[in-house]
Structure 1
Amino acid sequence: MDETIATAPDELVRRHLQPGRTLLAVLHAIQDEVGFVPSGTVVPLAKAMNLSRAEVHGVITYYHHFRSEPPAAVTVQLCRAEACRSMGSEALAQHIETRTGCRFAQHRHDDPHAHAHGGGPLALESVYCLGQCALSPALTINGTLHAKVTPQKFDALLAAATTVAHTEEAA
């Protein structure tokens, strides 16, 4: 059993598998419950849904929303789509990398030095369109959307998110 979750993977799958529910819906339900999709759920999901392990793993790794490790305490998702790029998201990305000492991965698995996942204190993720094109550059911090983000605004948002994360960790 995966030590990072209290529920056995088979039980986790059984709890969220319902007639007519799609693989995506089950994966979302599992991630909503434990914060990620544990690797141990791939085989029971494949068996229960009559899919190959490769199909289940492929869906988990294809969609940027799913993570296979516990999330970081603070996750920054920066829009790297054209509208945000035209309004300075690449300069903002450089500021964020310098400020945090982490790097953005352009794709989830392409850079071993990028801190995209893994339960550490901070994760930087590139996303492509947060639907805020008129208010770019946009990013989320722990799922909360922020628009017209400047380096100064980012610094304040990160400080607030880090304080919250430390407070929750101590509780």
Structure 2
Amino acid sequence: MKPARQRSRRPSVKRTPPVPAAQAQPVLDGAVRLATVLAEEPQGWRVRLGTRELVLALDVSVDPALMREALEDGARVLVEASATPVVVGVVQTSRALRVDRQGRVDAQVERFELQARQGATVKTSGAFLQVKGSDVELYGTRILTRAREVAKILARMINLN
């Protein structure tokens, strides 16, 4: 006599009919999606997310000046897809000046230009170079100017202490 064969019992699964792709809404709560910045508007930032255009708020952690640069460059932004989507960052696509963990900035560039509306200061513990409006002040214990050929000081008047 053969032993009775036991069948494995699987729990019954209810099958739901497939939803057409046009109606399918994936659960995106907390997911991050890519979008393109189109414009800055009084209510927020107009972005293209897939085929839709939306006006979204900017997360408090994102610098609005960074968004303006992204708009100028045509850069992509990161959108947190939730019940109320929000722009949470910008995708960096080019090199930037970096400060390392020791606080140093080392860069090799073709040209470096800095524009400040009111003034600029370069300081060390014992010296500084300050540019304010049309005045330039150079201060230090010792100031050395070197030239291979000629050193010129051009001015209407020279005042030496």
- Looking at secondary structure, tell me which structure has more helix per residue: 1
Tell me which protein shows more strand as a share of its residues.
2
Question: Relative CO higher for 1 or 2, CA cutoff 8 Å, sep ≥ 6?
Answer: 1
TM-score by length of 1: 0.23
